[in-house]
Structure formats: C-alpha cells, structure tokens
A and B are shown apart, each in its own frame.
Chain A
Amino acid sequence: MIPGSFDYHAPETLAEALDLLGKHPDDAKVLSGGQSLLPLLKLRLGAAAHLVDIGKIPDLEYIREDGGFLKIGGRTRESTLEHSPLVRRKYPLLADTAEVIADPLVRNLATIGGNLAHGDPANDHPATMLAYGAEIVATGKTGTRTIPIGKFFTSLFETALAPDEILTEIRIPVPPPRSGGAYVKLERKVGDFATAASAAQVTLGPGGEVERVGIGLTNAGPTPIQATAAEQFLRGKKPDAGAIAEAARLAASAAAPAADRRGSVEYKTEMARVLTGRALAKAIARAQGA
C-alpha cells in the first residue's frame, strides 16, 4: 500500500524532463497519469529512484485534426477522449476503447500516452492503434521521431521508446469516407483488464467491398497482436457473414494468450474469434452507415 522512497521532479519544460531522464537512464520513470505506475510502486513491484512528472509541461494535451491525421497529445486523459465530440463522431473505435479503460475515476487521470508507453498487452489502446495503423511520436534530446505502431511494441512491458524519450503524440490517419471501427471487450467486471478484446477498423470501397482493414487483439500474447492473416483475407472481399466468420477464425489463430484467472488458453482464443466477429460486424455496419 505504501511505496518505497523516491525523488520526485516536476519539470516545467520538455527539455528539462528529457534532461532528467538522460541523467538517470536506469532508474527514472515518467509519471504521466500515474494510474499504472503508482499502483506498481505501491505494491513495491518495480522501483524507481526518480519520478519525472510531466504534468506541468504545456502543450501535451490536445486532440486535433491536422495534415491528414488525428493528432493526440501524449498526456491527453482517457476521459477527454471518451467525451470528445470529434472522437465520438469520426473515430468510434477510439471512443469505444477509451470508454472501457479501467473505470471512470481512473480515466480522469490515466493518459493515452501512458497507456501505450507502458507496453502492457493487456492495455486497450495498443490493439486499437494497430487497427488504425497509427504512428507514435517520440521526443528525445535530439528532437522527435515517428515510430510506426507495428514497430512500437517490442516485447512484454517493452516498447521502442528509449529511456530518455517521452511519447509526446499519437497520430491516427484520418479515415476516408465509408470508414467505421469498433472495439469489443470482454471483461470479468467493469474496471478489469480484458479477458479478450478485439479492435477493428475498416474502410469500404465504392462497391461495398473491404478496401482497408486493421484488426488488433488485446491481451492475446506478450505484445498486442495484429491479425494480419485475417486482414489479408478480408481485403477486397464483400463483408458478408461468411467472410466475417472466416476473418474472425483467422484472427483467433494469431492469438497466443496465456492462461490465468481470466481464462484458459482455449477460452481466450475462442473469445478472440467471437469478439473479432462482433467487432468486424459493428465496424462494417458503421462504415456502411457513414
């Protein structure tokens, strides 16, 4: 319940923050929303001698469309995403995702940047970003770099971020017309991590066939899973019930979940199939309605 001691820093600029991270490469952690980090420290799992709170740094919370992307500041709160009219209108997959993260109180502090940077495949945004084909903008001492989401999650609790980099922005390509997305999460109760969850983002062509599709799976392996075989299968096809069912089956074959109290390997894999089917159906219906 009570964390071990640490030094706390609240830099007022990004440069100061990066400087601190550079000074303590092995034992400094970024404090964003704190809703993943502080619980770990309170259980004395994972120590940090230095906490670098990025809460005072300006211009890290925003949601805006610009240059063909939805650009989201790394410190944007989940509750802000959940209630943003722009997100709800044009990015239903993202809205679906934000509203099932933890519970409403945690969402008031938890940030999308923290959710992604933690590298936890059980978090909800990673699969969604895979489905969107998003990009991560990382800022370091020498400037910013863009990391495609497919390269961002390297292994369990590990990302492509260097110890002295901060995730400052997430970029989602603005979906073309006839696009829709959905996130379907199976949880034991509200507030839990996913037993299984599936993110689907589709764009339909002029004839109603699937022009673009992204499918991501949450908590189905040591990293979030991109269901590439399912995506390949669906591309160019008419999204009827049979196609959706086959895509869902292929998505499940990409899942490699671990057994735990949330479920056996068999159950979680099956749920990846069931939920992908439901996410695809919903995404397609939204795309057809868009």
Chain B
Amino acid sequence: MASTPRTSPEVGGMGHSVKRKEDPRFLRGKGNYVDDIQLPGMLHMDIVRSPYAHAKILKIDSSAALKVPGVLAVITGQTLEQYKLHWMPTLMSDTQMVLPTEKVMYQAQEVAAVIATDRYAAADGAAAVEVDYDPLPVVVDPFKALEPGAPVLRTDKPGKTDNRIFHWEVGDRAATDKALAASDVVVEQKIYLPRIHVASIETCGIVADFDRIRGKLTVYMTTQAPHAIRTVIALVAGHVGLSEEKIRVVSPDIGGGFGGKVPVYPGYVIAIAASVVIGKPVKWVEDRMENLQADSFARDYHITAALGAKKDGTMTGLRIKTIADHGYADAAANPSKFPAGLFSICTGSYKMPVAFAEVDGVYTNKPPGGIAYRCSFRVTEAVHAIERMTDMLAQELKMDPAQLRMKNFIPENEFPYKSVLGWEYDSGNYPAALKKAMDIVGYDALRKEQAEKRKKGELMGIGISSFTEIVGAGPSKQFDILGIKMFDSCELRVHPTGKATARFGTKSQGQGHETTYAQIIAEELGIPAAHVEVEEGDTDTAPYGLGTYASRSTPTAGAAGAIAARKVRDKAKKIAAYVLEVSEDDLVWEVGKFSVKGAPQKSKTIQDIAFAAYTNHPQGMEAGLEAVDYYDPPNLTFPFGSYICVVDIDRGTGEVKVRRFVAVDDCGNIINPMIVDGQIHGGLSMGLAPALYEEITYDEDGNVHGGSFMDYLVPTAMETPKWETDKTITPSPHHPFGAKGVGESATVGAPPAIANAVVDALAHLGVKHIDIPITPEKVWKILKEKGAAE
C-alpha cells in the first residue's frame, strides 16, 4: 500500500496525485464564502468595541447612531439580558460575555452592535454610538495576576478570589525531581511563546436567517465544526425557542480555518439573536483588525523546562512548568478533559524514563482563548519546548545535536510505545527520517562549511527538529468536547448508475476533502474518485461529526469513509453472489469487481452490482447500496518528522536569512501526495511566521500591539524560502488504511528547527537560547553584547 498505487489513475485511489475536484469553482471566482451570500431583505451588523482593556460601562448612548439613515437598531448587553443571552458558555465550560452589562474585560471587546440596511450605514452607526467608560486597573501579566492582592478579574463568578483558571498535571513529580537531582547534567530554560493569530485570509463571519413562519433558523457561518455549533446553539438558545431539529448550520466555502474558526464568537450569537428578533437575515463579517484583536489567539505559554541527562547524552528526565495566559475567559477549543490540550506529548520522540508536566491557566485582561494556529491542541508548545531543550542539552554536552537525538530516539522496534506521560505512540521510525533529512541537506558538508565560516567571523547555523505529533482526537474513552464524544462519520450511498455520494461530519477549509475522501472510497470500492461526490458542512444532511481541526479528519472521518465503504462492499458481495449464483466464499475481490474463483470471466463490477441493488437484489434483502459509519478511533495517530534548517545571519542588521529548509515528514500511508505536500508547504510557512515575524503584545494598559496587518507580519513570497520536502512512510497499525493526520505537522515542527539554527549560529559566542519571534533587533542586541556586531 505504501509506494505504488493499487488502483489505476482512472480510478484514482490512494497514492494518486488526483487534481482537486473543488478547484473548478475557486478558479472561476465562484466559491461560496459567507460574505458572498446575499439573501432578500438581508441586514448588516457592525460592532462597537471597547478602547479599554478593563473598564466599567457607565452609559451607552445610541441616540446619534439611531439617527443615521439606514440604521434600524442598536443592541446592547441590556437587550440580550432580556433573553438571558448576554453570557454564553465556552467550549471549556467557562463563561464569556456576548455583550457586557457591567464592564469590559479586554481592549476591542464587543460592547454594542448596530443593525442597518447596508454595511456602510452600519459602519456609520457604529462610529456614532457613544460609550462612557470608567477605567479599572488592568492586569496583563499572568505572573502579576497570580500574586496575592492582584485585582480579581472574574467578579462575575461568585466566591472567586483569585485569577486562577485551572491546574493540570501529569507524570511523576517526585520521581522526576529525584532523577534530575541525580543527573550528570541538567539544562534549564525559561521559554516564552507569545500570542499569535491564525490570520486566515478570510476573516470570520455569519449570515443568520430566522424564518418566522417555519420557526427555522439557518446559519451560514465560517465554522470548522458545524454540528457542534448547532448543538451549542440549541443548548444556549433553547430557552428562546430554538430547537435543534429546526436549526441548520451551513459551513459553505471557508477561506482558511487553522483553528481560528472553531470557537463561538460573540458576533455570531448577536447576529443570530438579531435575526430571531427582527425576523430578517442578518450578516456580520469582521474586519481584519477585529479579527486580530478579538478572535481566538494562540500560544501565550510561559514555559520553564528542565531536561536531565547522563554524561554520555542519555536523557534521564524532563520537568516542565507552564503558566498559560488565557485572557479573560478559557475559551480554548480543547477536548474537555485536557485543559492544556495534548501538551503531555512533550517527552517528544525520545525514550524518556521519567517526566512531569504541570500547566496553570490564568485570567488576564486580554481576549479569551487560546487554542488555534495549527497547533494540534498545544502540541506546538510541547514540541518547541522539547526540541529547544534537546539542542540546549547537546550544546551543554558539546555533542552534535543530530547524534544526541539518534542516541535518545525511541527505537523502531519498541512501537507501540507507551510514554511515561500516558500516550501510546502507534508507530514511528525516527532515525530513518532524521537520516534522510541529513542526507538531503548534506549535513556533514554544512558542518564543515560552518567551521570554515566561523574562522572568518561569518555566522551560519544549522537547526534540527525531530518532532512527534499527536492527532486524530479521539477515542471516546478520553475525548469529548462539551460532552460530545469525538468520533466522526461517513454516510455513503451508491446510486443505481454506479456513482456515489459520500457525506462526512468534518469540514474542509482548504485541505481538499472533496478529493481525498473520494479517493478513499475509490480505493475501497473501485468507483472512480471522479464519480464520488463528497459533501460536508450542512448539518441538515451531513452525519454528525466534530469537524476539522487538530489534523483529525483523515484519522477519524477518513477512517469512517473506509469502514462505510467496506460495509458497502460486504453487501455488494452478497448481491454479487446472488447475481452470479455462487456462494460468497467462491468470490474474490479485486478493486472494482467480484469474480468467481477459478472462473475470472464470471464477474460483476461494482457498477453492475450497484444497478442490481435497485433492480435485482435477493429476496429478503433491503434494496439500495449504502452504509453509515460512526468511527470511534481506538487511539490517536502519531505522525512525525525531522526538519533541518540552515540560516545565515547578517552581522550588521541581525537579519536571519533561511538559506535552506529540508522537511522529511511521515504521516503513514498517503492518500494524495500532491495534497500532502501542499499541507506541508503551508504548515512550514505557518512555522516560519511565528519563528521570525509574528507576535501580538500588550502594554501595561492592555493596549494591543500587532493588531493589524501593518504590524502583524504575515510573510510574503519574498520572506518565504523554497521549501524542500520528502517523506518516509510508517503506517499506523490501527488506522483502517494506515494513515495519520498531517495538516499541522509542519507548523509544529518548524519553529524549533529555525530557533535551533539561529542559536546554533551564535552558540560559539555563548548564546544558549532565544525566544521567538527572532527579530533582527533581538539578534543584533546579542551580537553587540558579544562584540560580534559589524
């Protein structure tokens, strides 16, 4: 299954780089994104936002706004309070405001909403709303937030006397402390991963359309998880008469998600409420600045890590303590039992005998969140920590970082491998991936070049990241979101003329499911991928699923597709036996047809069988040829890879130039190599961006910096290097077709490779660590201190 495709290019099953079935409409500008939707009588909504990070609201004066031609209404917290919709639950069972009635808790928080006949009038109305505030003390430093005497932010929670959200820990604290104390070498480091934002090119938006006559709410929304949203709306707004069978959530074409389109944003709820009350469709699409300043952020983890080893480099233990800044509400989209996501993958690709990790969530005056940006539920944070610490260890031991990794990798024959923090890694071959990357980049020659350059005072660095990812949430035993288990689904129906429709509970935002899922069906049934119509995103028709994020689609919904197809094949076999007048045991399957053992000319294609299912099926059997599967994955999948980054540093300006970046990824068996490469390229770019360019910061008054594309530096084609990619293939033993997820691997693996390369370039000057983003000024400061600036 690994290398040569089993099916012909005409069928287009696994392994074929089938050109994308979704492209025709995008190429012609005929995509259907939320802002493209225009309904009769549709109104527009714009939001008034707080300039203060923490303030009492004294007065909201809508009188001038209501005089603006075209403005119909101004909605405030008071309006929503009548319907008990002014607060809502978050996906982590915290609560957040839809619109405030007393105070605002972050700069750019929603304060009021203006409904108007067109978007220009709505903007004028929003500009005319006058709000009086009384500023309150601001808390932006999570460490200060934890100090006794710090202002308590969540005064809405009765009895709350501090700013703590949760404490979570895993592993053996005592054993780890003991092991580190007894180690020959311990490297310890504070690592801060600042706030960043997915900044998909399409911002978030909704068209809410309540049909008064039918009592039905239709919501077109930029959401990665339409079914979960439908259930949340039914639970949150059930008391105002919305009932789940009369709610339809449609996720149309989505211009990039990356986790930023999973949470329920206040703007969505206000638009829905407005539509229900007014009885007309209401559209809300946010500006880029609103998107960057108020939507779910990512990272903001203050990590303190310690890694111990013997003199010979054998790792002895890992201890990590993290302060997680969640903003004023924990609105992260984690599985409910994992407030720090899958951070416990932090022992990485190494055989770690003992480990302990703890994460404390803290409230601050910042937007709520914070899971997003292709992080696989905090795996970017975990991998950054272990890969940085591994390089620090190598530096301390004066060992080559590749050699140190090879020495500590979990050996191939120890999989499935149970990590000391509780995960069973399904399969892996870490040495093969690293060796391949080293060969492609020419590692030994680069080290020689580096030595020569150092003599001349030129700065060149080589950084490695050998990451293990953890995706495909997840098994029902451990995983749920708001109680809903994290299975996923496929409903497959084969039509009389041998074509098929397959509906799934996930929702692509560019990952190519209309093509890859069709290829899965093609592989299992031999129906050409071109004849399989894939549908996602409409809760009226798609089977229930938990959506697409955290690289879970192929591991869960893809698996459901394969199993559903196998169920169909089982029934097809019965029909074939009936039509061919043999017993099922006499039949042999090759892709696309059943034939009689020893008499291959007696056969029926899947198309023949599909027709027979409606015209000539056996008595006692139901007509039709279809199946549904709700797949509960037995385990997560563990894609992995080794990345090697080569940088050159300008001694005058401190600029870091990525000269080369080699990425060797392993996501098990590959459905569509072209699409996988595309995911890697995009993921690498979203790893480069936080490593060198992007960050959102807050000054001590809670003013946000980096809240527009002027200062939030999304790399262009000029900053982005030419990515070099290759693969190893280590199938997942438990997945129906041996595949693992891949969408986020590169975003997880790339930042430490780049950071390690920069530190490596400066290591001979005594530099041990630099926090990302590694800006030219950060590098220049170091060069100046060390007397190495131009």
Taking the complex as a whole, does A directly touch B, i.e. does some CB pair lie under 8 Å apart? yes
* Pairwise interchain contact A190-B719, C-beta atoms closer than 8 A: yes
B285 to chain A, nearest CB (A): 10
Binds B, one of A28-36, A61-69, A77-85, A262-270: A262-270
> Once the chains are docked, how many angstroms separate the CA of A186 from the CA of B650?
12
Which residues of B690-726 have CB atoms within 8 Å of chain A's CB atoms? 693, 705-706, 711, 713, 715-716, 718-719
Question: Can you list 22 contacts pairing A with B, beta carbon distance less than 8 Å?
Answer: A1-B287, A1-B288, A2-B119, A2-B120, A2-B123, A2-B124, A4-B127, A103-B716, A186-B653, A186-B655, A189-B693, A189-B718, A189-B719, A190-B718, A190-B719, A192-B713, A195-B776, A261-B711, A270-B784, A270-B789, A271-B653, A274-B652
* Pairwise interchain contact B777-A267, C-beta atoms closer than 8 A: yes
> Once the chains are docked, how many angstroms separate the CA of A186 from the CA of B123?
37
Known: A188-B775, A190-B716, A271-B653. 16 other contacts (CB 8 A): A2-B119, A2-B120, A5-B124, A44-B127, A103-B716, A186-B776, A188-B776, A189-B693, A189-B713, A189-B715, A261-B711, A263-B777, A270-B780, A270-B784, A274-B653, A277-B652
**Given A2-B119, A263-B777, A267-B780, residue A191 in contact with residue B716 (CB < 8 A):** yes
Report chain B residues within 8 Å CB of A191: 716
**A107 at interface, CB cutoff 8 A:** no
Interface residues of chain B, those whose CB is within 8 Å of chain A, are: 119-120, 123-124, 127, 287-288, 652-653, 655, 693, 705-706, 711, 713, 715-716, 718-719, 775-777, 780-781, 784, 789-790
Closest to A274 in B: B652
Report chain A residues within 8 Å CB of B713: 188-189, 192
Report chain B residues within 8 Å CB of A1: 123, 287-288
**Binary contact readout A264-290 vs B (1 if CB under 8 angstroms, 0 otherwise):** 100100110011011000000000000
Report chain A residues within 8 Å CB of B123: 1-2
Report chain A residues within 8 Å CB of B120: 2
> Once the chains are docked, how many angstroms separate the CA of A191 from the CA of B719?
11
> Once the chains are docked, how many angstroms separate the CA of A225 from the CA of B789?
25
Report chain A residues within 8 Å CB of B776: 186, 188, 195
* Pairwise interchain contact A189-B716, C-beta atoms closer than 8 A: yes
> Once the chains are docked, how many angstroms separate the CA of A261 from the CA of B127?
28
> Once the chains are docked, how many angstroms separate the CA of A188 from the CA of B656?
11
Which residues of A1-53 have CB atoms within 8 Å of chain B's CB atoms? 1-2, 4-5, 44
> Once the chains are docked, how many angstroms separate the CA of A267 from the CA of B785?
13
Report chain A residues within 8 Å CB of B655: 186
Report chain A residues within 8 Å CB of B706: 261
**Given A1-B287, A188-B713, A190-B719, residue A261 in contact with residue B119 (CB < 8 A):** no
> Once the chains are docked, how many angstroms separate the CA of A190 from the CA of B287?
22
Report chain A residues within 8 Å CB of B124: 2, 4-5
A267 to chain B, nearest CB (A): 5
Q: Which of B127, B287, B652, B711 has the most CB of A within 10 A?
A: B652
> Once the chains are docked, how many angstroms separate the CA of A271 from the CA of B780?
10
Report chain B residues within 8 Å CB of A277: 652
A277 to chain B, nearest CB (A): 8
Closest to A44 in B: B127
10 closest A-B pairs by CB: A2-B123, A274-B652, A190-B718, A267-B777, A1-B287, A190-B716, A189-B713, A261-B711, A263-B777, A189-B719
A173 to chain B, nearest CB (A): 31
> Once the chains are docked, how many angstroms separate the CA of A103 from the CA of B719?
13
Report chain A residues within 8 Å CB of B711: 261
Closest to A1 in B: B287
Report chain B residues within 8 Å CB of A190: 716, 718-719
* Pairwise interchain contact B653-A188, C-beta atoms closer than 8 A: no
> Once the chains are docked, how many angstroms separate the CA of A189 from the CA of B718?
8
B189 to chain A, nearest CB (A): 24
Report chain A residues within 8 Å CB of B718: 189-190
Which residues of A156-210 have CB atoms within 8 Å of chain B's CB atoms? 186, 188-192, 195
Which residues of A101-157 have CB atoms within 8 Å of chain B's CB atoms? 103
A192 to chain B, nearest CB (A): 7
> Once the chains are docked, how many angstroms separate the CA of A1 from the CA of B123?
9
> Once the chains are docked, how many angstroms separate the CA of A1 from the CA of B711?
17
A189 to chain B, nearest CB (A): 5
Q: Which of A103, A192, A267 has the most CB of B within 10 A?
A: A267
B734 to chain A, nearest CB (A): 43
Report chain B residues within 8 Å CB of A186: 653, 655, 776
A100 to chain B, nearest CB (A): 11
A32 to chain B, nearest CB (A): 21
> Once the chains are docked, how many angstroms separate the CA of A277 from the CA of B780?
17
Report chain B residues within 8 Å CB of A278: 652
> Once the chains are docked, how many angstroms separate the CA of A188 from the CA of B706?
13
